[in-house]
Amino acid sequence: MSILIIYIVTKTYLTGIWQIWLQQQSQQQLINSKPIVDITSHVWFNSAAISKNFILPGAITIIMTIIGSILTSLVVAREWERGTMEALLSTPMTKLEFLLSKLIPYYFIGLLALIICFLVTVGIMHVPFRGSFWLLLILSSLYLWVILQLGLLISTVTRNQFNAAMIALNVAFLPAVMLSGFVFEINSMPAIIQIITYIIPARYYVNILQTLFLAGDIFSVMLINVGFLLMCLLLLFVVIFKKTQMQLD
How many CB atoms lie under 10 A from the CB of residue 120?
14
**pLDDT score recorded for residue 114:** 92
Helices 133-158 and 161-168: angle between axes, nearest 10 degrees: 140
Contact predicate 147/65, CB 8 Å:
yes
Q: What is the pLDDT of residues 40-65, one digit of tens each?
A: 666 666 655 667 777 888 889 998 99
The domain tally of the chain equals 1
Asked if residue 154 is part of any domain, the answer here is yes
- Where in the sequence is the domain holding 144, given as residue range(s)? 54-243
Could you give the CA distance from residue 79 to residue 239 in angstroms, rounded to a whole number? Answer: 20
Q: What is the pLDDT of residues 187-236, one digit of tens each?
A: 888 889 889 889 999 999 999 998 888 888 888 888 999 999 999 999 99
Q: What is the pLDDT of residues 80-135, one digit of tens each?
A: 778 777 777 777 778 888 888 888 889 999 999 999 999 998 988 888 888 889 99
Asked if residue 105 is part of any domain, the answer here is yes
Look at residues 53, 68, 66, 67 and name the one whose alpha carbon lies nearest to residue 212.
Answer: 53
Asked if residue 19 is part of any domain, the answer here is no
Task: Please check the confidence at residue 31 and state whether its pLDDT lies above 80.
Answer: no
Asked if residue 151 is part of any domain, the answer here is yes
Q: What is the pLDDT of residues 5-18, one digit of tens each?
A: 565 657 676 777 77
Cα 106 to the chain's mean position, in Å?
22
Asked if residue 12 is part of any domain, the answer here is no
Work out the angle at residue 245's Cα, subtended by the Cα atoms of residues 240 and 247, and round it to the nearest 5 degrees: 170
Look at residues 69, 59, 97 and name the one whose alpha carbon lies nearest to residue 180.
Answer: 59
